[in-house]
A and B are shown apart, each in its own frame.
Chain A
């Protein structure tokens, strides 16, 4: 990606975490996120469809949407946040948009995303 300054690019790459798997909008992911509850912290797993991922170096974020008891729930995390302990890729989805905000108006069968077979190409 391009940065406003090459130095900032190298700094962001140095500060960035390397353990986030390659995933994009339409993919089904499991996010292991820390939540604080009664003064204690524990890991909660949030599984849903990634409907947005912005790749802005250290400033990127992603949104995961799931429908829980008929109510749509979306959570946004910064990609670099240490409160996301792990992201697991469950399955890939076949979509034609980079941002799937249209899913918010859909329900039932029309909100379904077809699965795409095959893993991501290994980078490098």
Chain B
């Protein structure tokens, strides 16, 4: 379980810039300013440790009364998204209720994991969803070009094996990309530039956390 510190962020889109030697750096722009701690989850009361974080301002009229009442307790303005992050006990002390989590918990070069909801692709066939090859186009083939072929054996085992790849819903699921790199922290604009793409559509919300499996430093 990832108990590393993290932030909520909003994906704004992608752009790119160049290094001095001409290398192009493709980056995703994530707005990550304004993460506020809205509640603590403690071992004694809840049985686990977590920080509850709110992100992105929202009109109070768009929130229901239970939500407003919950935020009133911690004296935080209404937020669009509220998530819990399981963290170590030290982080709970470092971030009291109502305090803002600064973007400076990340710096350029930090390895991060980004979790988001991938773009929905709808109900897709096996060729798009699982990269099957389909069937051949000629030699008497008829109307089966994009089929997956046989899905099993005969009397033994007499059933389709669990986990058989078939057509179905593709995308719109929780996806985590590990070991992305922070390219730049732009505090003034309140954005993080992350090298490479992150899951989800523009204006989607993602969770950024310190990488759970950062690559080992190379030995020379």
Contacts and interface: CB of A to CB of B under 8 A. Distances in A.
Nearest to A84: B22
B29 A11 contact: yes
B15 interface: yes
B87 interface: no
A75 B158 CA distance: 62
Nearest to B202: A4
A85 to B, nearest CB: 11
A7 B15 contact: no
Contact of B12 (A7, A34, A81, A82): A7
Interface string B120-146: 000000000000000000000000000
Interface string A66-110: 000000000000101111000000000000000000000000000
Nearest to B186: A11
A7 B14 CA distance: 11
Interface residues of A, number: 17
B13 A8 contact: yes
Given A5-B29, A81-B22, A10 B189 contact: yes
A59 interface: yes
Contacts of A80: 17-18
Contacts of A59: 15-16
B218 interface: no
Contacts of A7: 12, 29, 31, 189, 191
15 contacts: A5-B202, A7-B12, A7-B29, A8-B29, A10-B189, A11-B186, A11-B193, A15-B15, A59-B15, A59-B16, A80-B18, A81-B22, A82-B19, A82-B22, A83-B22
Given A5-B13, A7-B29, A83-B22, 10 more contacts: A4-B12, A10-B189, A15-B15, A34-B22, A57-B15, A58-B17, A59-B15, A59-B16, A82-B19, A82-B20
Interface of A: 4-5, 7-8, 10-12, 15, 34, 57-59, 78, 80-83
Interface of B: 12-13, 15-22, 24, 29, 31, 186, 189, 191, 193, 202
* Interface pairs A-B: 4 shortest CB-CB: A83-B22, A5-B12, A4-B13, A15-B17
